Structure 1
């Protein structure tokens, strides 16, 4: 279905929109409702209200949780295959829990459908909650006091509010379900740990860095999250404590205080009086009461826009990091990695990055076009060669954005364009192949890669680069055309009239 664009001024009844492009800069993919001149963006922590004129372009669609019921109902009238495809769509879009009932219904229709049978068996295993692991020594190692929140398969040590902790646990449980359903459908049977997986969430980056230092992990000081193999746990910090977030919110608070003081002055202004006003970022002007109130309203919406962008950025970082790190923990505890070094670092990180995309404050699912990683990938010029990456060249010495972007890009390309060969590659690395066991990690990775994808790495490399040049996020695909500068006014012909425009429309 092709989404129609909501051009400003067209719709007067309630409508939905998910891609929103602000006039003053910034773009978001988030659930929103439109009624009359009001646009309300709806996030878990609250609503942000704007006017239609605040946006250059609004596009409906692109929120899977809103599409699922309609897709499911349409598929039910189209037959078994369509229903299975709709379930697979739901799983890859982060809606595994929502698809569970439909999966069980399909299993009742055809119990011999192997992928469905495996996924239903996985759902049964996931319904059994785990027990708590030993936490005392790890809590001491964290060096902070924490509260505890629990899900069926995770225990979260945190310093956030109860609501934030519950939301984090729900996210992790959703990612866990997606992970198991994905591999079950693809024929990789994994175990569900009997004990809950341990996650820690620092409120302050300084405490996170202190923990890394205490664990001799300073090489990872530039990371936002870390999987600790010895503790068999993951740690992360709240992006709200970063300098960028702190500075942005401080600027917004100062702006709101300036507008509050201006509002107080305007409220005292006599009805017909005019006021000379100078506000931060605005040219000095003389305004009457009505114009002053309109100015305040516009500037308050601009502050609201900045706060929205900051909040969405924080959620994308926090929840994306949590999703990424839980995949490392799952890989180690579910049997995906039969040995700690079964997968090269690029493959472990690239796989984790397939799960880290957050859009509009919710988990976007598996192998989505990754907004920050895609930007990092595009900055690598010329595009990197394939063989050094497969050999794990440069990895294992801390976090480097360019190397992580390469890993994300290659795994994304292989999963999307060569899914069968990618599974063969995983099987070769996971299996007890004696011919691979005696090789160095670098040679083992390259040999398995050649067996799975063929020996013509030059052609594969070229296709990888060409494919990645076409990848766009939904916001990029539907972005409004660049605004052109105004045309110069026609010159006078010297007789008081303007030169005639002879072009045709």
Structure 2
């Protein structure tokens, strides 16, 4: 997720938060020497004239004042594109050969087999239902997305990389799928073609064959990544989190990891929800890891640890990032299991955070302690409970 948060950091720098607005306008923007017309609403207007704009396809555009050539009011109220117009808009931005599969909540654009598109649609819908049902039982009411959630599926890893390198850069070689905060889309490729899991005898034209291939142990991390990114997309479109708001990364990542274990044996349920994440737990308890006593405070107050940009030497490097993800999963798991009511209230507070309004480290800690008590007291209970998890 670090590449997405890097975008946030850049935007906080160029769009000092001003007023939060809502209206429908035509914007003529100069981007990379080309004039682009955007119809949408202003989400944030900076004091210097810059703006954060959401277009009718759900994409966010960050424009500094000198990039806005002209803007015109539109009398038609803002609304997301309907399914047909959304499909047309997305297909216009993709190479030739893509088709569309629609479900109740998803628009899937693909150039792989229709069977794989349907399989993904079914998987995403099951995740969507499980996510909403879980939080409803917890007492947190979520909203319907403003429009269909878009997923783009490439037929193979090569064409996926050719497309995604523009957004991911060199990270594309290590990422099998991602959710882009700015475009609001999940992008991935057909995992049944991944060299890591593909066998010569595989035929993946039907859902049962897809399940068979992707249920192999060597495919688990790949499928979990797709579910992880799809969970981010749901959370940012159902009122739980607001794109570009200052929600601590550990919260977003902890929740995504809580949901990322799929149940490919069932066509309806999601028995993996809330299961112990063995990889993260093993990392957390690793005897080779020296866990600093102030780990929770650092995780709460400073996203740079989980981003891999920490200035404190104790939290630097790739291994430290893996430690941060383990800490995030453990903390989310502990709070959801042992402090569910307080966690929902904390999530409701975070849901009120507005785009591009950055909290101080002290405010982040205060928000947390408001519901869970002081960090030293919580730390003892947290470590004691996690030592019992197997």
Structure 1-normalised TM-score? Answer: 0.49
Q: Does 1:321 align with 2:225?
A: yes
Q: Distance in 2 between matches of 1:177 and 1:356?
A: 14
Aligned pair count reads 282
What is aligned with 1:171?
A: 123
What is aligned with 2:323?
A: 402
What does 1:13-412 align with in structure 2 at a 5 Å threshold? 131-132=83-84, 134-143=86-95, 145-219=97-171, 221-246=173-198, 249=199, 311-313=215-217, 316-338=220-242, 340-359=244-263, 361-362=265-266, 363-379=270-286, 381-383=289-291, 385-391=295-301, 392-396=303-307, 400-412=321-333
Q: Map Cα deviations across residues 311-343 of structure 1 (whole Å, 9 max, x no partner).
A: 523653454233222221122221112453242
**Over the residues paired in the alignment, what is the CA RMSD in angstroms?**
3.2
Q: Is the 8 A contact 1:198 1:233 kept in 2?
A: yes
**Tell me, what secondary structure is at the counterpart of 1:439?**
coil
**Tell me, what secondary structure is at the counterpart of 2:174?**
coil
Q: Distance in 2 between matches of 1:140 and 1:402?
A: 41
Q: 1:175: Cα distance to partner?
A: 1.0
Q: Distance in 2 between matches of 1:236 and 1:375?
A: 28
Q: Map Cα deviations across residues 43-78 of structure 1 (whole Å, 9 max, x no partner).
A: xxxxxxxxxxxxxxxxxxxxxxxxxxxxxxxxxxxx
Q: Does 1:439 align with 2:350?
A: no
Q: Is the 8 A contact 1:198 1:234 kept in 2?
A: yes
Q: Distance in 1 between matches of 2:253 and 2:371?
A: 20
Q: Is the 8 A contact 1:413 1:467 kept in 2?
A: yes
Q: Does 1:466 align with 2:376?
A: no
**Tell me, what secondary structure is at the counterpart of 2:151?**
strand
Q: 1:172: Cα distance to partner?
A: 0.8
What is aligned with 1:290?
A: none
Q: Distance in 2 between matches of 1:184 and 1:232?
A: 24
Q: Distance in 2 between matches of 1:389 and 1:454?
A: 16
Q: Distance in 2 between matches of 1:333 and 1:360?
A: 25
What is aligned with 1:415?
A: 336
Unaligned runs of 5+ residues in structure 2 are 1-81, 203-210, 310-317
Q: Is the 8 A contact 1:345 1:395 kept in 2?
A: yes
Distance 1:402 1:204, change over 3 A: farther
Q: Map Cα deviations across residues 119-172 of structure 1 (whole Å, 9 max, x no partner).
A: xxxxxxxxxxx8356234533544463332221111212243333322221111
Q: Is the 8 A contact 1:178 1:365 kept in 2?
A: no
Q: Is the 8 A contact 2:157 2:194 kept in 1?
A: yes
**Tell me, what secondary structure is at the counterpart of 2:378?**
helix
Q: Distance in 2 between matches of 1:406 and 1:235?
A: 27
Q: 1:346: Cα distance to partner?
A: 1.3
Q: Distance in 2 between matches of 1:134 and 1:230?
A: 16
Unaligned runs of 5+ residues in structure 1 are 1-129, 254-306, 473-505
Q: 1:194: Cα distance to partner?
A: 4.4
Distance 1:222 1:152, change over 3 A: same
Q: 1:205: Cα distance to partner?
A: 2.3
Distance 1:214 1:145, change over 3 A: farther
Match of 1:424 among 345, 351, 368: 345
Q: Is the 8 A contact 2:214 2:223 kept in 1?
A: no
Distance 1:184 1:138, change over 3 A: same
**Tell me, what secondary structure is at the counterpart of 1:354?**
helix
Q: 1:242: Cα distance to partner?
A: 4.1
Q: 1:367: Cα distance to partner?
A: 1.4
Distance 1:360 1:232, change over 3 A: closer
Q: Is the 8 A contact 1:315 1:361 kept in 2?
A: no
Stretch of structure 1 that moved more, 201-210 or 418-427: 201-210
Stretch of structure 1 that moved more, 414-423 or 232-241: 232-241
Distance 1:459 1:192, change over 3 A: same
Distance 1:234 1:339, change over 3 A: closer
Distance 1:132 1:453, change over 3 A: farther
